[in-house]
């Protein structure tokens, strides 16, 4: 049995692929059912009151659909959405320019909002609460304060590190929602839908295998689907078979749990250099030559989700499952966590 479609092939460009694969309506967005229901209620209630929805904050690991949710919320509200990211807003003038160019009912989406400059962030407080900007002009005794009225807008924030957001900013969001890793059946539905959109034939066994190695993350699932499709076109007959999928993913060094060499390296360091742990974050980053944020945002969430490492008050510990998966014998005097 194959999945196929008569939809046209999009341009051969990664950005256009991502745009085409991104769901535009609730019925196309697979997974995160509780959040979808919650957002639907918020949007419909705001429409009935003829108001803008409350400010929304999405958090969770990268690739789970935070940006897509923001687009759908704006689409379902019948409003425009303007997109930026925290690191781009370097000065207060950058934020003022964004806010003063909004219209009533518009949405402003700020990705990586935990990285907004703290000084700039303070201007957001009155903007989010009272829809006004309080600006200080000049310095010293000649300084003046002016207030600029803003249109009633909705701010949608997205972050992978909720703990790095300041409490004053976090408290001004009307709804805070956590996106979790997807279920296997949801990932397989996403792969099947993406295959139809990309107009590629794929066997059910291949769908299952890509799903198993996609780290329960839609962005990674779509990325792997595109890479396997390349192998199917060059080394096969254009059909994504189970055999082609195994060959492609093995060539890309992605194992049956979705681990890449860098993931395995991190776990091996905990086992071999630190006797299975516990090891502190700084020591682990130094030994692995990795940035702290990379470990916290890229590697650790999935390794923890899969039960390969565990965080304790003393540091990171490799579990018994990690020893088995990496085929490393555990020393007799050491009992790893189950």
pLDDT tens digits along 208-217: 999 999 999 9
Give the architecture (CATH level 2) of 261-325: Orthogonal Bundle (1.10)
Q: Is residue 71 left, alpha or beta, with left meaning phi > 0 and alpha meaning psi from -120 to 50?
A: alpha
Residue 189 scores a pLDDT above 50: yes
Lowest-confidence segment of 14-18, 41-45, 73-77, 286-290 by average pLDDT: 14-18
Q: Which two tokens stand for residue 130?
A: 């009272």
66, 193, 215, 310: which one is catalytic?
66
Residue with the bigger pLDDT between 264 and 331: it is: 264
Percent of all residues in the chain with a pLDDT value above 70, rounded to a whole number: 90
pLDDT in tens, 113-152: 999 988 888 889 989 998 998 776 656 666 677 788 899 9
Q: How far apart are alpha carbons 100 and 145 in whole angstroms? A: 17
Catalytic member of 219, 229, 264, 316: 219
What is the overall mean pLDDT for the chain?
87
- 219 catalytically annotated: yes
Task: Tell me, yes or no, if 11 is annotated catalytic.
Answer: no
Residue in 271, 333, 338, 259 with CA at minimum distance from that of residue 300? 259
Q: Which of 8, 2, 36, 3 is nearest to 20 (CA)?
A: 8
Considering the domain 32-178 in this protein, what is its CATH number? 3.40.50.300
* Helix/strand/coil for 203: coil
Please tell me the predicted confidence (pLDDT) of residue 6: 37
Q: Is domain 184-251 given the CATH code 3.30.70.20 in the classification?
A: no
Query: Which entry of 68, 106, 111, 215 is annotated as an active-site residue?
Result: 111
**Rounded CA separation 245/79 (Å):** 41
To the query of whether residue 241 is one of the catalytic residues in this protein, the response is no
CB 151 within 8 A of CB 103: yes
Looking at the predicted structure, is the pLDDT value of residue 7 above 50?
A: no
Residue ranges covered by each domain of the chain: 32-178, 184-251, 261-325
Q: Which residues contact 218 (CB under 8 A, 6 or more apart)?
A: 30, 31, 63, 64, 65, 182, 187, 190
Q: Is residue 67 annotated as a catalytic residue, yes or no?
A: yes
Contact 291, 285 (CB under 8 A): yes
Q: Residue holding tokens 């681990």?
A: 259
pLDDT of residue 83: 93
Cβ neighbours of residue 180 closer than 8 Å, sequence gap 6 or more = 32, 60, 64
Q: What is the pTM of this model?
A: 0.84
pLDDT of amino acid 293: 85
Mean pLDDT of all residues in 70-92: 92
List the catalytic residue out of 67, 154, 217, 241.
Answer: 67
Of the residues 68, 154, 159, 160, only one is catalytic, namely: 160
Mean pLDDT score, 89-112: 91
């Amino acid at each position: 049995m194959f999945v196929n479609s008569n939809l046209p092939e999009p341009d051969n460009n990664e950005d256009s692929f991502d745009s085409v694969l991104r769901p535009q309506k609730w019925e196309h967005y697979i997974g995160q059912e509780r959040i979808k229901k919650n957002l639907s209620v918020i949007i419909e209630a705001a429409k009935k009151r003829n108001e803008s929805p409350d400010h929304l904050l999405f958090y969770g690991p990268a690739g789970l659909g935070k940006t897509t949710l923001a687009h759908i919320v704006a689409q379902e509200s019948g409003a425009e959405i303007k997109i930026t990211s925290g690191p781009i807003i370097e000065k207060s003038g950058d934020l003022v320019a964004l806010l003063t160019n909004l219209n009533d009912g518009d949405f402003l989406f700020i990705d990586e909002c935990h990285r907004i400059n703290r000084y700039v962030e303070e201007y957001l407080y009155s903007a989010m609460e009272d829809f006004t900007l309080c600006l200080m002009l000049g310095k010293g005794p000649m300084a003046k304060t002016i207030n600029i009225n803003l249109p009633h807008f909705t701010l949608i924030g997205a972050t992978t590190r909720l703990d790095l957001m300041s409490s004053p900013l976090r408290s001004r969001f009307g709804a805070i929602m956590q996106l979790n890793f997807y279920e296997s059946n949801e990932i397989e539905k996403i792969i099947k839908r993406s295959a139809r959109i990309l107009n590629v034939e794929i066997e059910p066994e291949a769908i299952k295998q890509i799903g198993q190695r996609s780290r329960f993350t839609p962005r990674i699932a779509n990325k792997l689907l595109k890479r396997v499709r390349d192998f199917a076109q060059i080394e096969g007959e254009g059909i994504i078979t189970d055999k082609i999928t195994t060959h492609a993913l093995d060539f890309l060094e992605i194992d049956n749990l979705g681990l890449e060499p860098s993931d395995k390296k991190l776990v091996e360091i905990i086992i071999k250099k630190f006797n299975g742990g516990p090891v502190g974050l700084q020591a682990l980053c130094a030994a692995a030559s990795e940035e702290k944020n990379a470990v916290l945002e890229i590697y650790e969430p999935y390794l923890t989700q899969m039960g390969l490492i565990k965080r304790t008050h003393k540091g990171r510990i490799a579990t018994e499952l990690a020893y088995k998966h990496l085929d490393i014998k555990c020393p007799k005097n050491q009992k790893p966590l189950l």
